[in-house]
Amino acid sequence: MTSHSTVHEDLHTIDITTTANPQRALVEASDIPVLAFARQLTDGEHIAEHEHSRSQLLHPTSGVVIVTTQIGRWIVPPDHALWIPAGTRHAVDTIGAVEMQSAYVRLDAINELPAHLHVTGMTRLMRSLLDETVAIGAEAHDARATLIRSALLHEIPILPERPLGLPIPRDLRLAELCREFIAQPSAQIEIDNWADRIGMSRRSFTRLFRQQTGLSLSAWRQQASVMAALPRLSAGEPVTMVAMDLGYDSIPAFTTMFSRVMGAPPKAYLRNQKLT
């Protein structure tokens, strides 16, 4: 079975915390409620752990972005975005050539901004507003610029949340099992096998896993499998190939799992993402 890791080895590490980063300096110094910029990254790039004084809406228009924090990992395929609250330390890895837009939002911009880190779907309106906010730049202060930025801010709270986060247990034994699964997901792994590997009873293992992740092992593995599948499906790989690589015996079994997590079968979900 082919292994498809969700995180590449770091081919190129970027430290954006340096004082030489003009975009970061501009964001930190500006009093405009929201600023947006576009950026291109190559396959396998790694942005070292950092944080922002503003919240960030990160939207890849091509390629896939993996964001890692102390509490878990989030996958952001095209037509999705990640809301990162201000002060959240995070690192970024890329899969494929990534073109992305980021909106940086002041804490006091509006009252309804989300407080938790999560992946969202994108609407056609938000895509257009991001495009325009990037285009007007940081210097525009006219009425049109103010209106566009305000509309973008008010669209953020109503973006639909998607279950593409993957909490990592604090227990080091559980965390190691989870990282192995992320590197090579498989539908064939059983709870008893995981429990035996760390010397626990099935009951104790399932209780501890739910306590530390908020999910059953079955639900966690399904989300991890979807996270592994989405970048490949978004790139146009056949559902059959992806399902087989993930250890599913049949296309219907994979489709049922995907639908349970994402609310629609793979082809319909990807099609709907482009239409909303």
Residue 1: predicted pLDDT: 34
Query: 119 with 232, same domain?
Result: no
Widest CA span in the chain: 65
Residue 5 lies in a domain: no
Query: 252 with 198, same domain?
Result: yes
Sign of CA dihedral 255, 258, 262, 267: negative
Query: 231 with 95, same domain?
Result: no
Output the domain CATH number for residue 99.
2.60.120.280
Residue 207 lies in a domain: yes
Q: Which one-letter DSSP state was computed for residue 111?
A: T
Place of tokens 């006091």: 108
Residue 1 lies in a domain: no
Query: 118 with 181, same domain?
Result: no
Token pair for 158: 């109503």
Q: Average pLDDT by consecutive 10-residue portion of the chain (276 residues)?
A: 38 58 80 94 90 95 88 84 96 89 96 93 94 94 96 96 85 89 83 94 95 90 89 87 92 93 87 70
Query: 66 with 22, same domain?
Result: yes
Residue 122 lies in a domain: yes
CA–CA dist 30, 202 (Å, integer):
54
Chain centre to alpha carbon of residue 199: 33
Say if CB 181 and CB 227 are below 8 A apart.
no
Token pair for 2: 């082919």
Rounded to a whole number of angstroms, the distance between the first and last alpha carbons of the chain is: 35
Residue 26: predicted pLDDT: 82
Beta bridge partners of 36: 103
Query: 145 with 175, same domain?
Result: no
Which of 122, 138, 162 corresponds to the end of one domain?
162
Query: 154 with 175, same domain?
Result: no
* Structural domain count of the chain: 2
For 47, the domain range is 12-162
Residue 26 lies in a domain: yes
Residue type, 164: L
Output the domain CATH number for residue 260.
1.10.10.60
Query: 118 with 36, same domain?
Result: yes
Residue 275: predicted pLDDT: 64
Query: 114 with 226, same domain?
Result: no
Residue 17: predicted pLDDT: 58
Count other Cβ atoms within 10 Å, centred on residue 145: 18
Residue 82 lies in a domain: yes
Token pair for 70: 């102390």
pTM for this prediction: 0.75
Which of 99, 128, 162 corresponds to the end of one domain?
162
Which of 162, 193, 227 corresponds to the end of one domain?
162
Contacts of 196 (CB under 8 A, 6+ apart): none
Query: 27 with 128, same domain?
Result: yes
Place of tokens 């994979």: 254
Query: 194 with 62, same domain?
Result: no
CA–CA dist 1, 43 (Å, integer):
23
**Phi and psi of 226, rounded to 5°?**
-65, -40
Residue 191 lies in a domain: yes
Token pair for 200: 């626990």
Beta bridge partners of 64: 95
Q: Which one-letter DSSP state was computed for residue 263?
A: S
Token pair for 255: 């489709």
CA–CA dist 272, 220 (Å, integer):
24
CA distances from 212 to 10, 202, 256, 269 (A): 28, 16, 26, 30
Residue 225 lies in a domain: yes
Query: 118 with 21, same domain?
Result: yes
Residue 152: predicted pLDDT: 98
